Structure 1
């Protein structure tokens, strides 16, 4: 399956492998495409799909990625100016994955000569009895991660963007930061093509057919057809629709939510620096609520979101509903209480994105229970972007039947669910 050409030689010959990515040109080349047998086809060009494509192409596999919209589009889960990157997880699996993600991001930056990660440091804070904070401190100790517990005075002296409450538990970890989201997608797409991957946008997959354990046929809405040995379904909130259209006989226990993040400007005459060069990322844990903040990057204002505070949708094509007024007011209250230097009367800007959530909020990275050449790599439940290149490597190993690079990852396997199999339909 793998190209045995030495890595250095493949780098030297990269330019000869670049494939034309124009959708119009694809139509006249469909006959040639039909004759190709790919090692793997990736469906979905967000952070998960593009990272998988990049990692497999870098290892010499013949890879095709199909994206139903345009590069770095804003209709899914991978767009925007910034996302939090952090080691601050209570689960050891995510800590191992994060420790692998940081050097993978550095490698992408090196290969592309593009800055994608900026380290700001990170605050996790909230009510002192918040179980997530207690578990987080235990995880830091268990995994030998440097951290500091700050007093209110220490925290406000170092981070004047915040005003904390007297009894808050405040934990600082120096390695947290921001990943530039849309910029990262564009960069990973470009690198994937440099390593020989073929990427087609505006190419919606309508169904797949598993012919055998070594052959899958892919039919797109424009009637183009592709052949591959293996396929990765990394299409987020659209994954169940594709699985059902393809008669793959399972329904994944997923819930799609429409989330909104808000950007809040500093008040007039405020001299505090809220940019990424001074302001840390943060996560607040209340009794039953979680907010996250990112410093100003490209869009004016501090980005603040209510984690899992959006509307649940039936599917990705559902009519979009207004953000819940009571949740909007909770965001405003949080801004006024903890970041009083910001104007919480009205946000400067807002952005809509989607979470595709499992019931336990862990990822799915696993083979289909019946078809071992179908890999399901979705969803990220609102916290996956930071891990992108590491998840891509996880998928690449899975496609090549290599051991997991992070050891045990049972949290990502389908066996944890009571998967419902439905009868195979007789009609096409």
Structure 2
């Protein structure tokens, strides 16, 4: 594993001690079984599952509950079985029942089944592999021709050469609402939750003790630590002098909302109760996705992995412009496949961050030298749906019990080989 620090980490500045008197250090006397750093959907899911499994858990976030500075906010995220890789089918099998449990425990609706379609030229590897994986795992699906698909989903127009794969359990998760529910459930199951607590660094005292120092000089102690800090992970690893730099890149992504044209028939329903989630594979490396209208006016559409790479996570309010040529391609996609929507001008847009690995697979692994540090949440733009299942994997690791299935696809050592494995699909 490379220990050379990227330039942006070497440029991290510290506040001069001459500018202000240092605050008084406050050391908490509790030794937590696990401290989770990062309260987005992954960190909240880890803290939820760890506390539910009986741990004495502390969850720390540098901002407030369900903030919009990371990767977990918004009105909706896609949940689906539609993956050509085995490991994501395994995660989906675990996570669908978990989301139902979370809904019951929080008494909050978080999932709406809309059905999901994956479509594109039939010769493309993602489409071929997806169908094969459905068959392998006995996931029910339908192949629709153009006429069948347009009758079932009048919101879309398809090309005669498209292969259209329908899976009924695809749907949407209510993103910000889900994060808030997980935070509340953490407390319900006994976890301590601290907002506006930025972790400055951690220190591994021994195999059974880690000290966590926040920038307000509060000190916490735990037996294990879970890094769920997304795009801030490398900065924290660097400040903590843990001799590890992850092979990740942060990008700022944008999604856009598109309302129907004035002359679109009112009988065409773009709401979550009629419109499916959809992924269109233009080719093997480029995909567009859409979600029905939920809370924000219009259909949500994005171009997967099309945003601007960032040197580091910015401050709140620091936004990069979305590439015009990418937005033009989204407009072209909508004009062709969703002609009832006004593709001339988006009604609104939102930003979020992807924390991307080179192969777009997740990281769920222990630190190579410190087994009491677990690193996760580099989810490459497709991890929200799986968060409770990732929390379950992390809980197993923290409690030193076997995970439900082999997770070597998420290991850190896969990056030791410079020739990376095939990138995952959208």
Other structure's SS at 1:35 match: strand
* 8 Å contact kept, 1:250–1:419: no
Counterpart in the other structure of 1:391: 390
Q: How does 1:6-405 map to 2 (within 5 A)?
A: 31=26, 34-270=28-264, 271=266, 272-287=268-283, 288-317=285-314, 320-405=319-404
Cα deviation, 1:82-127, whole Å, max 9, x if unaligned, reads 0000001111111010110000000001111111011000000011
Name the Cα RMSD after superposition: 1.5
* 8 Å contact kept, 1:291–1:307: yes
For normalisation by structure 2, the TM-score amounts to 0.90
Shift of 1:30: 7.8
Other structure's SS at 1:99 match: helix
Unaligned 5+ segments in structure 1 are: 1-27, 421-428
In structure 1, C-alpha distance between the alignment counterparts of 2:202 and 2:314, rounded to whole Å: 21
In structure 2, C-alpha distance between the alignment counterparts of 1:223 and 1:269, rounded to whole Å: 60
In structure 2, C-alpha distance between the alignment counterparts of 1:386 and 1:187, rounded to whole Å: 14
In structure 2, C-alpha distance between the alignment counterparts of 1:305 and 1:213, rounded to whole Å: 44
Number of equivalent positions: 391
For normalisation by structure 1, the TM-score amounts to 0.90
Cα distance, 1:200–1:30 mapped onto 2, change above 3 Å: farther
Shift of 1:320: 3.2
Cα deviation, 1:161-184, whole Å, max 9, x if unaligned, reads 000011111100011000000000
Cα distance, 1:419–1:194 mapped onto 2, change above 3 Å: farther
In structure 2, C-alpha distance between the alignment counterparts of 1:395 and 1:117, rounded to whole Å: 23
In structure 1, C-alpha distance between the alignment counterparts of 2:417 and 2:234, rounded to whole Å: 12
